[in-house]
Amino acid sequence: MGTQAVVRWWAQAVYDLRRLRDEPLLGAAIAAIFALLLLFILYPLARVLTVSLFPDGTLTLRLYREFLGSWFIRQAFVNSVLMGVLTAVGGTLVGFLFAFTLTRTDIPGKSLLTLAAILPIISPPFVSALAIILLFGNNGLITRQLLGFQEFAIYGMRGLLLAQIFTFFPVAYLTLRGVLESLGGTLEDAAMNLGATRWKAFRRVTLPLCLPGIASALLILFIESLADFGNPLILGGSGFPVLSVQVYLQVTGMYDLPGGAALAVVLLIPSVTTFLVQRYWISRKRYVTVTGKPTRAVIRAVSQRMRWVLFIACAAVALFVLLFYATILVGAFSRAWGADHRFTLRNFGYVFGVGAQAIQDTLIIAVTSSPLAGLLGMAIAFLVIRRRFPGRQAMEFISILNFAVPGTVIGIGYILAFNQRPLLLTGTAIILVANFLFRYIPVGIQSGMAGLRQIDPAIEEAATNLGASTPVTFRRITLPLLVPAFFSGLVFSFVRAMTAISAAIFLVSADWNLMTVQILSQTEAGRLGAAAAFSVLLILIVLLAIGIIRLILGQLFEYRYQAAFG
Amino acid sequence: MSVVLESVTKTFEDPQRPAGKVTAVDGVTLEVNDGELVTLLGPSGCGKTTALRIIAGFESATSGRVLIDGQDVSAMSPHVRNTAMVFQSYAIFPHLTVAQNVAFGLEMRGRARSEIEFRVQSILELVGLAGLEHRSPEQLSGGQQQRVALARAIITEPRVLLFDEPLSNLDAKLREQMRGEVRKLQRRLAITSVYVTHDQSEAMALSDRIVVMDAGRVQQVGAPLEIYARPASRFVADFLGRVNFLEGDVTDIQPDRVSILVRGRSLEVPASRSDLRVGEAASLVVRPETIRLTQASTGVSGAFVGTIRRAVYLGSTAEYDIDWDGGTLLAVVSSPLEHGLLLEGTRIAFDFPAATAHVLPHPPGRRD
């Protein structure tokens, strides 16, 4: 940046600030949002970094040197990255298969396939792991009961990869479905009209246009896999260490907070790098935005034979997903998995007895944090897209940064940041609410931005022009028009608040516990029936909540997850 | 209330351009008098909409000042400027009814409920929307939405009324009808108005004065007739209506007239000009409808002679492309029903009253 550019930037900043004089409320809101973002997003990360660099009060790289020298940690790093790459490739492949088949063919059973591609999103991220243990574990239904294996090595890389692909392919599916829908079918029609065969139309038109979306999906899945905590904790075992779990074990197993912080930084580096590549490089190469109205898809793009190939492939994946959920359901009603499959309600009795407090806590925290996340998301989206003020881009960047930060890193950061006066929040509900609120605003912001791009800016200008200040414009005009985006952000952050574990596991306490943490500890304790019952209940609550919100909204808007990943 | 722009300039950063920026408005100075309707007219990208948005406060000028009624509003937020805009897309609030839309500005000003109701009612009657108070915007036709936008703007009794190509989304018939209504309302309420359009006939029909803009700069300011009859440049002559340029040489300059030699014929044009020199090249601006045609066989002495290359019959007029002197000239003749249509290939003599022509100095280095 030359001096001239600095001078111009400064002049603009001064001018923008001068204009805020007429809008004291707007200025106050911007300042308040900045303060919150600094406190709940940047400060915890800064604490992680400083604690890892100043373990004894003086600057040292000792911890990093120790970890670099440790074979085990190096292995964990390699494993994490390897698992990330494999999950990204596998999940994107499956996701593309689903997206392409569902948008470009007229196969039967589409709604069931869609369900299979959506279910993993609304369940806790380690449900796949639980189901895999029930099916393929030491006491697994398939491995032990059907095939009679005594020892089957599902723990480790293979099992984890399977679990992660099933957990994360829906994310790729939603991203790519958006891309394929907005591409519409006209381009393929045009290609075939000009003499291209179906295959050539796919190779030369459809696929190249999807490439940025595919790249985006790969990177997002890589980030998700790196950050995944529940699946590797259950399935990785000591034979296949990964970083996200090591961070947790370092803190809770060895009571070594500085060590955990240093590991967290090591985990943070590939995640944030990937995020920056995805955001500032790949997403600029998109040919289309994912906001347009989906045009009617063509069904001529695929030959009759190919149609059946695609159908069988999708059906196989979907069957697997549904099998997982059926397993969980059966497991929840079985006396002792692998030994006694007779029907019982005992597991649910246990859940409602011992777990009642966790259920209540989870609900309170999710119901508190998600509307706040939705509102804050809309407000930030509005400010960033429609208003000029110094630090606008910084606000956008900080507020979506948490999308890239693995939950375990955030968890450690919150413990480090909020464990002493005047910011003593550990052990309270506030720390959990704040955690969910600021972790999931990126979702609200993304859907808010997508919504705003569909609203003619002149509508808000008209309000301003007629004398409405910025806060009044936002409340009276923007927010009512963003109702669909608000609720899709709200639903998403509610689902995530109900199902998240990685950060929350550091923050729960005797007073405030969460269902996901309960499921995990039941699984670790070998009480698979109780874990399954908890999972079933959790999924039911999420489905019920979504159903209620949809019912309230009626035909107001079409509920879509897309915006969440845009 | 008057609106004054003092050497307003607006540059946008644009990394695509070699200079790194683009100047949308370039030193525009302009005064709109109380109760006057002034049109900013120009091709798209000429800076007219940016200038309008600077008055409203949606854009900030890079340099220069905007004064409304003598008050410098340059640093004022748009919501306290008391300018009302009618948007190209109407920008009707889609979640509010017609009455709620119209009442919005008064609500923002904290007026009493009863006053708002009364005034909304009377303004809806004024724009012909009485009875549609409780309709939602999507139930309205384009013309009705236009009226809502208009009512919503004028009800606030703004210091300045701003129009951003408000009629461009209407079909041709409705557009003509609405521009008549806009003009009538504006006169009746005597609101100082700035109107942006790229449609020259709209500008002619509506304006007290027209400001022709190109490339961010003001090219000419004047009443419609003045701009049409005496354009200040080839650009203005070309942009307003259709035009023929006849090239010639200045042979004599008198205080009240200029003599120009065109193809061996000396034409005396009434003009008092100081920017012309004897012996230099000049262009004559000749409007197509001033050209009179006669069959060459009848032999009119002193007229130019050419051949009709193309004849287009348009009902109320006929248009002829005439091959003449190695170029093409356009003539528009009214009422071909009465005068009969000339056939292509006919040799004709043509002439025009010198008093209707206008002289422009020939730009140096250009000869076309």
pLDDT, residue A144, reads 65
Closest CA to A469 of A18, A21, A33, A23: A23
Cα separation, A346 vs A353, whole angstroms = 10
DSSP A269: H
Which tokens in the block code for residue A259?
A: 């060590």
Selected for mutation to probe chain B from A15, A26, A466 (highest B CB count within 10 Å) is A466
The tens digit of pLDDT for each residue in A68-114 reads: 888 888 999 999 999 999 999 999 999 999 999 998 888 888 888 98
Measured CA to CA, the distance from residue B243 to residue B228 in angstroms comes to: 10
Residue contact B93–A462, C-beta within 8 A:
yes
Cross-strand partners of B350? B293, B304
CB B55 within 8 A of CB A441: no
For position A79, what pLDDT does the model report?
94
The predicted-structure confidence for A248-291, as pLDDT tens digits, reads as follows 888 888 888 888 999 999 999 999 999 888 877 766 665 543 33
Instruction: Give the per-residue pLDDT at A81.
Output: 94
Q: Where are the alpha helices (DSSP H) in A194-339?
A: 198-201, 207-227, 230-235, 243-248, 257-277, 304-332
Q: Which residues pair with B67 in a beta bridge?
A: B4, B72
Given A465, A476, A481, which is nearest B56 (Cβ)?
A465
Chain A residue closest to B102 (CA)? A466
Q: Determine, for residues B95 and A462 on separate chains, whether the beta-carbon distance falls below 8 Å.
A: no
> Across the strands, what pairs with B21?
B13
pLDDT of residue A351: 86
pLDDT digits (tens, 9 = 90+) for B145-190: 999 999 999 999 999 999 999 998 888 888 898 999 999 999 999 9
Return d(Cα A59, Cα A500) in angstroms, integer. 34
Q: CA-nearest residue of chain B to A461?
A: B58
| Sequence letter at residue A32 | A
B/e letters for A51-69, b = 16+ CB within 10 Å, e = fewer, are bbbebeeeeeeebeeebee
**Mutation target among A17, A460, A465 for the B interface, most CBs of B within 10 A:** A465
Residues of A in contact with B94 (CB under 8 A): 459, 481
Task: Give the number of other Cβ atoms within 10 Å of residue A156's Cβ.
Answer: 15
Beta strands in A420-548 (DSSP E): none
pLDDT at A561: 31
Interface of B with A in 46-105 (CB under 8 A): 56, 58, 60, 75-80, 82-85, 87-89, 91-95, 104-105
| Residue B319 to residue B299: CA distance in whole angstroms | 22
**Burial label, A250 (beta-carbon count in 10 A; 0-12, 13-18, 19+):** buried
Of B75, B85, B92, the CB nearest to A18: B75
Cα maximum dimension of chain B: 79
Across the interface, whether the CB atoms of A465 and B77 are under 8 A apart is answered no
Q: Which of A459, A469, A477 sits opposite B79 (nearest CB)?
A: A469
Question: Closest chain A residue to B73 measured between Cα atoms?
Answer: A19
B118-153 pLDDT, tens per residue? 999 999 999 999 999 999 888 899 889 999 999 999
A477 shares contact with chain B (CB less than 8 Å): yes
Q: How far is A495 from chain B (nearest CA, A)?
A: 29
pLDDT tens-digit map of B204-255:
999 999 999 999 999 999 999 999 999 999 999 999 989 999 888 999 888 8
Q: Do A465 and B95 touch (CB under 8 A)?
A: no
Distance between A464 CA and the closest CA of chain B, angstroms: 5
The closest CB to that of A465, out of B78, B94, B95, belongs to: B78
Exposure of A210 in the CB half-sphere (CA atoms within 13 A): 30
- DSSP single-letter state for residue A529: H
Contact check, Cβ <8 Å, A459/B94 = yes
A13 touching B, CB under 8 A? no
Mutate to test the interface with A, among B60, B79, B159 (most CBs of A within 10 A): B79
User: CB distance from A557 to chain B under 8 Å?
Assistant: no
Q: Give backbone dihedrals phi and psi of B258, rounded to 5 degrees, phi first.
A: -125, 135
Task: Give CA–CA dist A342/A278, Å, rounded.
Answer: 50
Task: Give the pLDDT of chain A (566 residues) as one tens digit per residue.
Answer: 567 777 777 777 777 777 777 778 888 999 999 999 999 999 999 999 999 998 888 888 888 888 888 888 899 999 999 999 999 999 999 999 999 999 888 888 888 898 888 888 888 877 888 888 888 877 777 766 666 666 666 788 888 999 999 999 998 998 898 888 877 677 777 777 787 778 888 888 888 888 888 988 999 899 999 999 888 988 887 788 999 999 888 888 888 888 899 999 999 999 999 988 887 776 666 554 333 334 454 556 678 888 899 999 999 999 989 999 998 998 899 887 777 778 888 888 888 888 889 899 999 999 999 999 988 999 999 998 888 888 888 998 898 888 889 989 999 999 999 988 888 888 888 999 999 999 888 878 888 888 888 888 899 999 999 999 888 998 899 888 888 788 878 888 898 888 888 888 888 888 888 898 888 888 888 888 888 998 999 999 998 988 888 777 765 544 333 333 22
Q: Chain A contacts of B95, Cβ < 8 Å? A: 480-481
Report the residue of chain B nearest A17, measured CA to CA. B75
Q: Report ipTM (2 d.p.).
A: 0.82
Q: Is A19 on the interface with B (CB under 8 A)?
A: yes
Measured between beta carbons, the chain A residues lying within 8 angstroms of B72 are none
The CA-CA-CA angle for residues A498, A501, A502, to 5°, reads: 145
Closest CA in chain A for residue B87: A458
Closest by Cβ to A22, choosing from B58, B77, B87: B77
Beta-carbon contacts below 8 Å between A and B: 77
Q: Which of B13, B77, B93 sits opposite A477 (nearest CB)?
A: B93
Question: What CA–CA distance (Å, rounded) separates A427 from A418?
Answer: 10
Q: What is the C-alpha to C-alpha distance for residues A313 and A101, in angstroms, rounded to an integer?
A: 10
Please give the Cα distance from A450 to A452 (Å, whole number). 6
Answer yes or no: do A456 and B92 touch at CB < 8 A. no
When scoring B11, B58, B72, B77 by the number of chain A Cβ atoms within 10 A, the one with the most, hence best to mutate, is: B77
Instruction: Output the CA–CA distances (angstroms, integers) from residue A360 to A87, A241, B57, in the order listed.
Output: 34, 34, 51
- Inter-chain CB proximity B104 and A466 less than 8 Å: yes
Q: CB distance from B235 to chain A under 8 Å?
A: no
- Pairwise CB contact (< 8 Å): B58 & A463: no
Residues A143, A191: contact at Cβ < 8 Å? no
Say if A23 is an interface residue toward chain B (CB within 8 Å). yes
Residue showing tokens 């006939």: B201
> Which tokens hold the place of B294?
């006669």
Give backbone dihedrals phi and psi of A237, rounded to 5 degrees, phi first: 65, -175
Which runs of E-coded beta strand occur in chain B? 3-13, 21-32, 37-41, 63-68, 71-72, 83-86, 160-164, 193-197, 209-214, 217-222, 244-253, 257-262, 265-270, 281-286, 292-295, 304-313, 317-324, 327-334, 347-351, 358-361
Contacts with A21 from chain B: Cβ below 8 Å: 75, 77
CB contact under 8 A, B88 and A458: yes
H or E element that contains B207? none
Nearest CA in chain A to B106: A466
Test mutation, B11, B65, B71, B93, chain A, max A CBs within 10 A = B93
Interchain contact, B85 vs A464, CB within 8 Å: no
**Considering only residues 449 to 468 of chain A, which have any Cβ-Cβ distance to chain B shorter than 8 Å?**
456, 458-459, 461-468
Q: Does A386 touch chain B (CB under 8 A)?
A: no
Q: Work out the end-to-end distance of chain A between its first and last CA atoms, rounded to an integer number of angstroms.
A: 30
Q: Which residues of A touch B79 (CB under 8 A)?
A: 22-23, 464-470, 473
**pLDDT bucket at B302, cuts 50 / 70 / 90:** low
The chain B residue lying nearest A386, using CA atoms, is B58
Q: A-contacting residues of B 196-215, CB under 8 Å?
A: none
Q: Which residue of A has its CA nearest to B154?
A: A466
